[in-house]
Structure 1
Amino acid sequence: MKRIFIGIGAAILVVLIAGLALLPGALEGQINRIVDGGPIDITEGARARHGELAVVDLHADTLLWARDPLDRAERGHVDLPRLVDGNVTLQVFSVVTKVPRDQRYVGTSGDSDVITLLAMVQRWPARTWDSLFERALYQAEKLHRAEEASGGDLTIVRTAADIDRLIEARGDGSRPVGGLLATEGSHPLEGRVGNVEKLYAAGYRMMGLTHFFDNELGGSLHGLSGEGLTEFGRDAVREMERLEIIVDLAHASPAVVSDTLDIATRPVVVSHTGIRGACDSPRNLDDALMKRIADAGGLVGIGYWKGAVCDPAPAEIVKSIRYAIDFLGADHVALGSDYDGAVPVAFDTSELAVLTAEMQKGGFTDEEIAKVMGGNAIRFFREQLPQG
């Protein structure tokens, strides 16, 4: 009888382990979805034009999930084969280290966290279970391992010289893809300014200040306080600027945006957003702040999901891009998908030519298309990254 109970217990354990192994994929399949945004209509002319572009996306959360970024997946939005299919030159990989259970665009508290359980289920190292800093390091390590295993098909960008080498390599007929590391908020600093330099050493070259909740640096656009930069936040921004880390104001409260612009000596980005004048959503900053960011030389990445553009259909995304160009200037608009960020979108990165096609239909000039699809981001990174 004892052996029977031992056998039953072992069988239950095997089932539980198998279930836990399948859970991350099932979860991602539910939240990183492709929804019906209408037919994907791309003419041969649009495909040809898209193939001539240097395409850049300022935000994807791919490293959070339990899959190899080098392998083509049946779920999610981004991996290396699909980046190649979409003719992407450079993908910014942002790392998520904490997400509250009550994640909302208005009134989100930071008192809970679902990433802890996700880290355990996905079998991240135990050091990541109770440390946001270690979660950032681990996701950076994941991209470094992918670079090493890619045979040159994926290269991490740290300097302006790396951008030049990437463009030169793609000009030789090959299609390597660059990856730039960023943080989704600066809570991984864990209240220590010295951790900015440690994340820089790990390869990070862009850092958001807040995510869905208020943190040690200041208020979130979605948080409870509405406050501006704290003294620690000011110190952290100054340290980022010293190291030539690009400051990302996505998810920052209006007060944090204003305070940051008051002390910044370098242009900033809003990596993934919409424009309030085109989509009146609480996810989007008001137009006056966006104009101030652009006037200071900044870059605004337009997202592909409902909360940013009100309708994820490609034609509607392009309407937001048109509004942004007309309001901010053609030199300040880029792509900021929020791929793999728990948002439903109408197309994945392999189908990015649909945006080129829709811009052509909308009467965009070739220069406008080239700038938005990646030219502005390439220029910005060449100017703002360490020169190398």
Structure 2
Amino acid sequence: MIFDAHCDIWTHVARKRLEGEQDIIRKYHLNKFKESDINGGIFVVWVDPPYDKNPKYRTKQILDKIQEEIKDSDDIVQIINNSEDFDKAKEHNKIAILIGMEGLQAIDDNIDDIEKLYSFGVRHASLTWNEENKLATGAKGNIERGLTEDGAKLVRKMEKLGMVLDVSHANEKTFWDICKVATKPFIASHSNCRSLCDVPRNLTDDQLREIASRNGVVGINSYEEFVSSNLEKRTIEGLVDHIDHMVEVMGINHIGLGFDFAEYMNSETLKHYASTYTYGVRGLEDTTKAKNIINALETRGYSKEDIEKICYKNFYRVIKEIIK
């Protein structure tokens, strides 16, 4: 059983529905999930380039298509609105979907809009993608700029509502500014270790320790440029090296999976942020290969209980605690 804490499937759903298709999850993804033993995940709304010029319009467009898709998929998906919904998903053999927001650029400075998103069913959000916005600063933003006053207010609102706060994509200053405001556990849904691969999207050991100290979780990311600068080490074994390091720094209870598979994107979107023609590390190229992480962990000597913690139990624990 695998919980993928970062899945861009809504991007694919929106694109296909805008092309006139229906029932996208069943048609394109359900068998892949079954093959890979993925039983749930955080499915995010991301304002994908080149549509980021009008984030509010694009966000509404994707949310409208999500609403349509949920109606088509009611018999195979369980939207997670509260902690009991995980049990309902398991009981009825449905995919447990936590609707998330990868960046809140569309909110601008209208922070009360988070309540509208919550009413829609959103239970997770990061404040930024890589950009600077009126809430916070992403990994490619000004290193001296962090969380704004509105961003701090939004963090407090999210905690009050019972939403999972995600710090993946935040720059370092935003991360530490969030730490001054947040009182509940938070996650980094799809980030790796900067000590093993020195890119701004990865987390320092101090950041990893801070997340663990707050009982949060970090989901390891299979995107190859975040695994190693050495092309030969962009493999599933190289990714498990990141897990080994996180275990040493954070402990086994704070590590999960946030694959960030690129198969949901088209080439027009991918060219805006990827510098290579391959995206997942060798052995974890796409959703159908997800179970390979279990074999790799077994080979590395992880116990059954520890593998279950990494694959789903750790994220289930923190999400259930936050959303109640």
1:92 equivalent in structure 2: 42
1:80 matched to 2:30? The reply is yes
Quick one: distance in 2 between partners of 1:273 and 1:207?
A: 15
From the superposition, tell whether residues 325 and 225 of structure 1 become closer, same or farther in structure 2 (CA, over 3 Å): closer
| 1:379 is aligned to 2:317 | yes
Alignment match of 2:25 (pick from 40, 54, 70): 70
Q: Which residue of 2 aligns with 1:41?
A: none
Q: Is residue 152 of structure 2 the alignment partner of residue 238 of structure 1?
A: no
Alpha-carbon contact 1:214-1:225 (below 8 Å) kept: no
**Which has more radius of gyration?**
1
Scaled by the length of structure 1, what TM-score is found? 0.72
Structure 1, unaligned runs of 5 or more: 1-52, 74-78, 100-113, 117-128, 171-175
Q: How does 1:296-315 map to 2 (within 5 A)?
A: 296-310=214-228, 311-315=233-237
Aligned partner of 1:143: which letter? I
Please say if 1:137 is aligned against 2:68: no
Root mean square deviation, CA, Å: 1.8
For 1:156-305, list aligned pairs within 5 A.
156-170=79-93, 176-305=94-223
How far apart are the structure 2 equivalents of 1:339 and 1:181? 17
Q: Which amino acid aligns with 1:135?
A: R
**Matched residue of 2:125: which SS?**
strand
Partner AA of 2:248 in structure 1: D
What secondary structure is seen at the aligned counterpart in 1 of 2:296?
helix
Distance (whole Å) between structure 2 residues aligned to residue 225 and residue 308 of structure 1: 19
Quick one: distance in 1 between partners of 2:142 and 2:298?
A: 42
Q: Which amino acid in structure 1 is aligned with residue 11 of structure 2?
A: L
Q: Name segments (4+ residues, structure 1) moved above 6 Å.
A: none
> 1:56 — aligned with what?
3
Shift of 1:72: 4.6
1:320 aligns with 2:275: no
Task: Choose the corresponding residue for 1:350, options 279, 284, 288.
Answer: 288
Q: Give 1:135 deviation, angstroms.
A: 2.5
Shift of 1:98: 5.2
Segment of structure 1 superposing worse, 304-313 or 267-276: 304-313
Specify which structure has the bigger relative contact order, considering alpha-carbon pairs within 8 angstroms and separated by 6 or more residues: 1
Contact 2:155–2:165, Cα closer than 8 Å, also in 1: yes
SS in 1 for 2:24: coil
Q: Share of identical aligned residues, percent? A: 26
- How many residues are treated as equivalent by the alignment? 296
Q: 356-365 or 57-66: which moved more?
A: 57-66
Change (3 A) 1:146 1:279: same
- Name the CA distance, whole Å, in 2 between partners of 1:137 and 1:57: 24
Q: Secondary structure at the match of 1:272?
A: coil
What is the deviation of 1:151?
A: 4.7
Determine the C-alpha separation between the residues in 1 that align with 2:208 and 2:144: 17
